[in-house]
Amino acid sequence: MLASETISGYLARARVLTSEMKAVGILLDMTLLMIIVLRGLPISPILPSVPEAIKASWVVDSGAAVHITPEVSTLHNYRATPFRMAVQLGDRKIHWATGYGDVHMQWGGAKFVVRDVWYVPGFKYRLLSVKKLTEKGGEVVFNKIGAYLSMPTAPKVLLGARGGVWFLDVDEHRSARGIAALTVKALRDNAQALLWHQRYGHLSYEGLAHLVEKGLVKGIPVKEDAFRECGSSVCGECVMSKQTRLPFPGSESKTSRKLELVHMDLFGPVSIPSREGHKYVATFVDDYSRVSAVVLLSSKDEVPKIVKLGLTILENRAEAKVKFVRTDRGSEYVNKELKEWYGQKGITDQTTAGYAPEQNGVAERLNRTLLDKARALLMEANLPLSFWGDAFIMASHLRNRSPVHKRDRTPWELFTGQVPDVSGFRVFGCRAYVHVPKQKRTKLGLTKFDSVARPGIYIGPAVNAKAYRILLDDGTVQISRDVTFDEFVRVKPEKPVVWEEDSPKVPAPEDEAAEERAEPAVVHEVPAPPAGQVAEEQADDPAAAHGDGAGSCGVRRSERVRKQPERFIAGSAALPVPPDNIEEAKSRPDWPMWKKACDEEIASLYGNNTWTLVQVSRATRVIGVKWVFSYKFDASGNIERYKARLFAKGYSQVAGIDFDEVFAPIKSRLMSKFEIRDLGEVRVSVPAIQDP
């Protein structure tokens, strides 16, 4: 084991080396492999200590034909039988013996060996056969005074009476095989406990034991004792990420129902933007249930909108009304817009005293808990710091399914009334392989001999879906339920990570699969054009009544170079290429098919009342539109349909004028960003479409 290597990292490396040796035909005996691995470990509390002797009570049974034990670890010279031997009890029940051996006993300072003891798994008692003892020269006496047992090589011993039967209390010595088997079992239990410690974002071992002991969650196949045994070991990631100062005194105030009091706070700014360009985290925590929700923000200006949207979703999900909110005195929470909204909703705003964040201790504690957990997740996964947003969301997801102080149930159960099922938890940042559906392989022109899975990194559960979010090695994020995980392997992204688009695309009605992969886009701020210069072209389609006006502020444009993955170029070289704009479509021989597709799109927009034609004044800045063309192919690769979609040119919006407006028939951008993962999707009435 390397000097700077953790135990989990060492075990993962040993596993990888074993797999590589197996791949080249080198096979190791499991006992030898276990010895090699154990020798490499340092002396640590994680290694279990198995006692060499145990206390045992044997029933001295005059009706038993053979000796029976349910404990295989105390059998010396154990021999497995080629067949199972049936053992019938007095109640006619049948038990099966799978082998036999010798038991080394000790009483009164003398040692004695009982030979040919049958091992019956699952049997409740140890039985000493009087018939077998007397055949070996022993003497068993029962009379009205009591009972005793004597053997040729051991002193006479009195038997004890309990429950109407005679017992012999002895010390049993475990065999070397039994000690090794128990050590391996304990190591397996400790390894599983360590794995769940990592899956739960480095939740304390006592917290994990509490989850299992109280039945707060389902799906953890580890006993609470295994967690507590590992609790004496030191986790480097936990110490490095969670060490703190002494706490402040807590508040004694209590709430009696959900959403009676909601604590809110803003975490940030973070010096390194997240993978999607965020610098802040808005946190919500219900005082009664302690359920938390987090929202990633790019600036403080978004806080009022997020507060209104977040509290509305919480109310709809809990079917209760928010009575009080508690924040610090930051201007993002104390302002005219929120004050008026609180008055309309009947919400009382409570603020802390100046420069006293400890008075909002619940929110501050939540921030620290999420930060500690997110830091541990990033350190364990060895991911770049730009993944802190994904780690923060994952930390909130895990915390809602963890025990909290002075609560007998998890926040998730207190808020929803449902016991959380955590059997789907996986280690954040581990290697994942996403299955490529047959429909996509056909669409991408892949053959039956191409790979059916794509490698990536697990970055958390999907929002409002029973699926996983996987960062593929090409830098894009895919949502899928068909994923295979290798939780002992950590990898760094092979290519620079690109950001996901802020606004979701509108899929064509025919695409029922709804494109599980979110197409990435990198957005940068560029300097403003010179005064009077036209910021964008007129709409490509003559149907656009007005062109884009000149802008005096910064215009956002996508600088991402769209490049098809090289492994797909060969398979798609023969596919037809759709036109880039309306003028190119008109110049092609298949223009009648594209014109039909355009007419169908316009008819659909009018039929769905997507827009309303209005008179535009000179002061109005109009957003242009653009036609996007594509094909739909059948299973044989033939063109099945020509498709045309009309989109607004959102990239021509100007900061300070209409930068935050949404011009697309989709759900609100704020709604899509509000990643309240545990509370499900709640529809909120917000304006989704603006006049084009």
Residue pLDDT, tens place only, 279-293? 999 999 999 999 999
Helix (H, G, I), strand (E, B) or coil at 559: coil
Among 139, 404, 435, 384, residue whose Cα is nearest residue 275 = 384
Cβ–Cβ under 8 Å, residues 469 and 459:
yes
Residue 669 confidence class, pLDDT cut points 50, 70, 90: very low
As its CATH architecture, domain 260-369+381-392+400-416 has 2-Layer Sandwich (3.30)
Residue range 549-588, pLDDT digits in tens: 333 334 444 555 555 444 443 333 345 678 888 888 888 8
Among 502, 476, 557, residue whose Cα is nearest residue 278 = 502
Residue range 450-471, pLDDT digits in tens: 888 999 999 999 877 889 999 9
Cis peptide before 269 (omega within 30 of 0): yes
Query: Tell me, what's the pLDDT at 559?
Result: 56
Lowest mean pLDDT among 80-94, 325-339, 388-402: 80-94
Equal CATH topology for 52-173 and 260-369+381-392+400-416: no
Query: Tell me, what's the pLDDT at 246?
Result: 61
Give Rg (Cα) of the chain.
34
Residue range 99-119, pLDDT digits in tens: 889 988 887 777 888 888 988
The two tokens of residue 257 are: 């129902």
CATH number of 52-173: 2.40.70
Residues paired with 618 in a beta bridge: none
User: Where do we find the tokens 């192919």?
Assistant: 633
User: Where do we find the tokens 């996986």?
Assistant: 426
pLDDT over 70, % of the chain: 71
Among 238, 242, 243, residue whose Cα is nearest residue 6 = 238
pLDDT(35) > 50: yes
The two tokens of residue 54 are: 């145990």
Query: Tell me, what's the pLDDT at 530?
Result: 35
Lowest mean pLDDT among 66-75, 327-336, 397-406, 506-515: 506-515
Helix (H, G, I), strand (E, B) or coil at 376: helix
The two tokens of residue 559 are: 């600088």
Q: Which helix (H) or strand (E) holds 490?
A: strand 483-490
The two tokens of residue 551 are: 């802008």
Helices (H), ranges, 264-353: 303-318, 336-345
List C-alpha distances in Å: 521 to 385, 411, 481, 502, 503: 19, 36, 24, 9, 10
pLDDT(644) > 80: yes
Give the CA count within 13 Å in the CB-facing half-sphere of 394.
31
Q: What is the pTM of this model?
A: 0.51
Considering only residues 548 and 344, tell me which one the structure prediction assigns the higher pLDDT: 344
Burial, 253: exposed, middle or buried (Cβ in 10 Å; 0-12, 13-18, 19+)? exposed
**Residue 579 contacts by C-beta under 8 Å, 6 or more apart in sequence?**
585, 588, 594, 629
pLDDT(504) > 50: no
The domain limits of the chain are 7-40, 52-173, 181-233, 260-369+381-392+400-416, 430-490, 576-691
pLDDT(637) > 80: no
Residue range 112-156, pLDDT digits in tens: 888 889 888 888 888 888 888 888 888 888 887 778 888 887 778
Helices (H), ranges, 573-649: 582-586, 591-607
Cβ–Cβ under 8 Å, residues 115 and 129:
no
Considering only residues 220 and 87, tell me which one the structure prediction assigns the higher pLDDT: 220
How far apart CA 470 and CA 145 sit, in angstroms, is: 75
